[in-house]
């Protein structure tokens, strides 16, 4: 029996709205299948399951906004699901407000064994409450940081998330209530006194209504999400920056020859060469590929290369090309092409947002010579590329003109030192001199 | 295709590449990259779209000739297979 949970789709996400279920109770699902659509602050994302089996319960109804980690559905593995599957639909009709205002009321009083005696007849609600009551997080990491930043004592905040989990909205409401309560006095210190928080308990934040967001609202929430992530990055990550000029003559010739020999539909952009070279260089310097989590350096096993993609009309997302180091350059190009199209059509999958191990930004099209990236936490590094421009270049003591690209590395100094960063840039340069081998 | 049909074709492809563009606002002699913030992926998509609509492949070295609507119409007219 596996629980399908609200995924974390980036450092800037602490809750999401279940927009729609693409499967129902009794449906068979395969690992990697898109089973639901979730609305984050940035966009609607197709969420995949990590399990293969049969959906036996839907725990959260469409339109509910729940914290990251909340169980959304129960999936029985094939052997478990061999028996008759109880078709429970009660959860679909359960009001969202009830779920959020009465967090797990009987989880502690009901004997755990009781539901097992009458599996088919047991209403979904107790199972739901039990599942939520045992949720390990009382607050998401983002809510904790938010509370720390605002000087709010989490233990005094009434959580409106399922299981009583405290969300960032709760933290903001508590901070706001405290500020209002203390504003008439001259005391600047925030005092989270019980009587102040009581007001918050009486008026929990309402569940987000199920209405499509307007373009302006989407813009505002996108900006908020980017702001949260970038502020956290600059607050927590001691960046170091290195830059190197790369002679792109060989790479440019390779591209011209390749693109002249294939149909227009298979042409490759210089960005694909840069992405593949970056992925291979990360494989060569694995300390830069991964995450910094709970005060520890966690190198990643795979290279899932995030690509910063600007949305038309503003906003920025950075989903991943999975196992980019294992792909050929044309395959990277196809993946990039597909990703950009899906980002702009709002069809990105959850795994692509959830697991980039390093990210690349390319501002060359905008005429930028040198990019100084801000790392997307909790990643360890971000690589920036400017435009390929003709520059004077010395070769064997002679001055010539070459197409030159400036590559930059922003890296987390907690995880690596400049020397490893320099090794990475040297590897990147070397790889771009050998485009046939990429 | 005459020039009017080619112009319709170019605008239709532009609409597919950048759906947010109001085709009535397109300045036919101005660079599309600057008018609508198109990037190299968009220009590649434009070349693919023109190929799919007309059968004419625009080589990379000719991209500069098709980044305005007027330029694209002229290019397609010149390179059309008669």
Q: How many Å apart are CA A113 and CA A321, to the nearest integer?
A: 45
Cβ distance of B59 and A260 shorter than 8 Å: yes
Is B53 in contact with B9 (CB distance < 8 Å)? Answer: yes
Q: What is the pLDDT of residue A201?
A: 40
pLDDT at A184 over 60: no
pLDDT in tens, A311-361: 877 788 899 999 999 999 999 999 999 999 988 887 888 888 888 999 999
Is A211 in contact with A172 (CB distance < 8 Å)? Answer: no
The reply to whether A337 belongs to the active site is no
Q: How many Å apart are CA A63 and CA A128, to the nearest integer?
A: 17
Report the greatest alpha carbon distance in chain B: 34
Q: What is the pLDDT of residue A362?
A: 95
pLDDT in tens, A288-319: 999 999 999 999 999 999 999 988 777 888 99
pLDDT in tens, A258-283: 999 999 999 999 999 999 999 999 99
Q: What is the dihedral of CA A41, A46, A48, A54, to 10 degrees?
A: 110
What chain A holds in terms of domains, given with CATH numbers, is 2-133 (2.40.50.100), 141-205 (no CATH), 237-437 (3.30.559.10)
CATH number where B12 lies: 1.10.1200.10
**C-alpha dist (Å) from residue B34 to B29, B53, B75:** 11, 24, 20
Q: Which of A28, A176, A224, A413 is catalytic?
A: A413
Q: What is the pLDDT of residue A308?
A: 95
Q: Find the mean pLDDT for residues A61-87.
A: 75
Q: How many Å apart are CA A201 and CA A334, to the nearest integer?
A: 52
Listed in sequence order, the residues at least 6 apart from A391 whose beta carbon sits closer than 8 Å to its beta carbon are: A245, A401, A402, A403, A404
Number of domains in chain B: 1
Across the interface, which of B18, B44, B51 has its CB nearest the CB of A269?
B44
CB-side neighbour CA atoms (13 Å) of A12 = 23
Scan for tokens 């060359």, then name that residue. A364
DSSP track, B5-65: HHHHHHHHHHHHH-TTS-GGG--TTS-HHHHH---HHHHHHHHHHHHHHHS----GGGGGG
Instruction: Please calculate the CA angle A301-A307-A312 and round it to the nearest 5 degrees.
Output: 155
Residues of chain A contacting residue B79, judged by C-beta atoms under 8 Å apart: none
pLDDT in tens, A196-250: 433 334 444 444 444 556 677 777 888 888 898 999 999 999 999 999 999 999 9
pLDDT in tens, A381-433: 999 999 999 999 999 999 999 999 999 999 999 999 999 999 999 999 999 99
Q: What is the pLDDT of residue A355?
A: 86
Mutate to test the interface with B, among A255, A270, A312 (most CBs of B within 10 A): A312
Residues of chain A contacting residue B60, judged by C-beta atoms under 8 Å apart: 256, 259-260, 267
Q: What percent of chain B has pLDDT over 70?
A: 98
pLDDT-derived band at B64 (thresholds 50, 70, 90) equals very high
More confident position, A183 or A175: A175
Burial B50-79 (b: 16+ CB within 10 A, else e): bbebbebebeeeeeeebbbbebbbebbeee
Full residue range of the structural domain in which residue B73 is found: 3-79
Q: What is the pLDDT of residue A177?
A: 61
Kindly report the nearest CA distance between residue A312 and chain B, in angstroms: 8
Q: How many Å apart are CA A240 and CA A414, to the nearest integer?
A: 10
**Nearest Cα to A48, choosing from A75, A60, A30, A70?**
A30
CB pairs under 8 A between A and B: 34
Q: What percent of chain A has pLDDT over 70?
A: 69
- Does residue B22 belong to the interface with chain A, where contact is any CB pair within 8 Å? no
Q: How many Å apart are CA A328 and CA A268, to the nearest integer?
A: 11
Across the interface, which of A267, A340, A365 has its CB nearest the CB of B60?
A267
Tokens of A129: 């409450």
Q: What is the pLDDT of residue A171?
A: 64
Three-state SS letters, chain A:
CEEEECCCCCCCCCEEEEEEECCCCCCEECCCCEEEEEECCCCEEEEECCCCEEEEEECCCCCCEEECCCEEEEEECCCHHHCCCCCCCHHHHCCHHHHHHCCCCCCCCCCCCHHHHCCCCCCHHHHHHHHHHCCCCCECHHHHHHHHHHCCCHHHCCCCCHHHCECHHHHHHHHHHHHHHHCCCCCCCCCCCHHHHHHHHHCCCCCCCCCCCCHHHHHHHHHHHHHHHHHHHHHHCCEEEEEEEEECHHHHHHHHHHHHHCCHHHCCCHHHHHHHHHHHHHHHCHHHCEEEECCEEEECCCCCEEECEECCCCCEECCEECCHHHCCHHHHHHHHHHHHHHHHHCCCEHHHHHCCCEEEEECHHHCCCCCCCCCCCCECEEEEECCCEEEEEEECCEEEEEEEEEEEEEEECCCCCHHHHHHHHHHHHHHHCCHHHC
Q: What percent of chain A has pLDDT over 90?
A: 45
Q: How many Å apart are CA A283 and CA A172, to the nearest integer?
A: 41
Is B13 in contact with B53 (CB distance < 8 Å)? Answer: yes
> Which is it for strands A398-412 and A381-385: parallel, antiparallel or unpaired?
antiparallel
Cross-strand partners of A63: none
pLDDT at A284 over 90: yes
The C-alpha R_g of chain B, in whole angstroms, comes to 11
Cβ distance of A265 and B20 shorter than 8 Å: no
A151 phi/psi in degrees, rounded to 5: 75, 30
Q: What is the pLDDT of residue A15?
A: 85
pLDDT in tens, A84-136: 444 444 344 334 443 444 344 444 444 444 343 333 333 333 333 333 333 33
């Amino acid at each position: 029996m596996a629980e399908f949970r609200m995924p974390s789709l980036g450092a800037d996400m602490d809750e999401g709205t279940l927009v729609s279920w693409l499967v129902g109770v009794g449906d068979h699902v395969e690992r990697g299948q898109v089973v639901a659509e979730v609305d984050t602050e940035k966009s609607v994302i197709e969420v995949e399951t990590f399990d293969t089996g049969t959906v036996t319960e839907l725990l959260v109804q469409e339109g509910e906004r729940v914290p990251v980690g909340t169980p959304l559905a129960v999936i029985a593995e094939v052997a478990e699901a061999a028996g008759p599957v109880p078709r429970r639909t009660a959860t679909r009709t359960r009001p969202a407000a009830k779920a959020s205002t009465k967090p797990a009321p009987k989880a502690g009083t009901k004997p755990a064994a009781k539901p097992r005696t009458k599996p088919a007849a047991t209403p979904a609600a107790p199972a739901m409450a039990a599942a939520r009551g045992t949720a390990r997080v009382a607050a998401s990491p983002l809510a904790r940081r938010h509370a720390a930043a605002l000087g709010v004592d989490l233990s005094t905040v009434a959580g409106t998330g399922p299981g009583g989990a405290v969300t960032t909205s709760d933290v903001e409401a508590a901070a706001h209530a405290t500020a209002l309560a203390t504003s008439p006095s001259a005391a600047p210190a925030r005092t989270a006194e019980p009587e102040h928080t009581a007001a918050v308990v009486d008026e929990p934040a309402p569940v987000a209504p199920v209405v499509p967001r307007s373009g302006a609202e989407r813009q505002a929430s996108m900006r908020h999400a980017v702001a949260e992530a970038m502020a956290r990055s600059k607050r927590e990550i001691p960046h170091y920056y290195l830059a190197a000029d790369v002679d792109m003559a060989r790479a440019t010739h390779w591209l011209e020859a390749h693109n002249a020999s294939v149909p227009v539909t298979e042409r490759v952009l210089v960005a694909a060469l840069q992405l593949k070279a970056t992925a291979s260089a990360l494989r060569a310097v694995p300390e830069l590929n991964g995450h910094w989590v709970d005060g520890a350096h966690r190198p990643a096993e795979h290279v899932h290369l995030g690509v910063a993609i600007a949305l038309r009309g503003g906003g920025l997302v950075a989903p991943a090309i999975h196992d980019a180091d294992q792909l050929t350059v044309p395959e990277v190009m196809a993946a990039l092409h597909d990703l950009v199209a899906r980002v702009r059509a709002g069809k990105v999958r959850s795994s692509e947002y959830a697991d980039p191990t390093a990210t690349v930004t390319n501002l060359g099209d905008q005429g930028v010579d040198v990019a100084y990236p801000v790392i997307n936490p909790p990643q360890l590094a971000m690589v920036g590329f400017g435009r390929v421009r003709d520059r004077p270049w010395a070769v064997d003591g002679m001055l010539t003109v070459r197409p030159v690209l400036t590559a930059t590395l922003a890296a987390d100094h907690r995880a690596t030192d400049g020397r490893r960063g320099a090794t990475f840039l040297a590897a990147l340069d070397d790889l771009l001199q050998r485009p046939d081998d990429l | 295709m005459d020039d009017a049909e080619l112009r319709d074709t170019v605008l239709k492809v532009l609409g597919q590449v950048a759906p947010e563009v109001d085709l009535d606002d397109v300045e036919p002699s101005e660079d599309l990259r600057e008018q609508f913030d198109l990037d190299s992926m968009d220009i590649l998509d434009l070349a693919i779209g023109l190929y799919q609509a007309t059968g004419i492949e625009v080589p990379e070295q000719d991209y500069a000739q098709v980044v305005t609507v007027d330029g694209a119409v002229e290019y397609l007219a010149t390179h059309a297979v008669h």
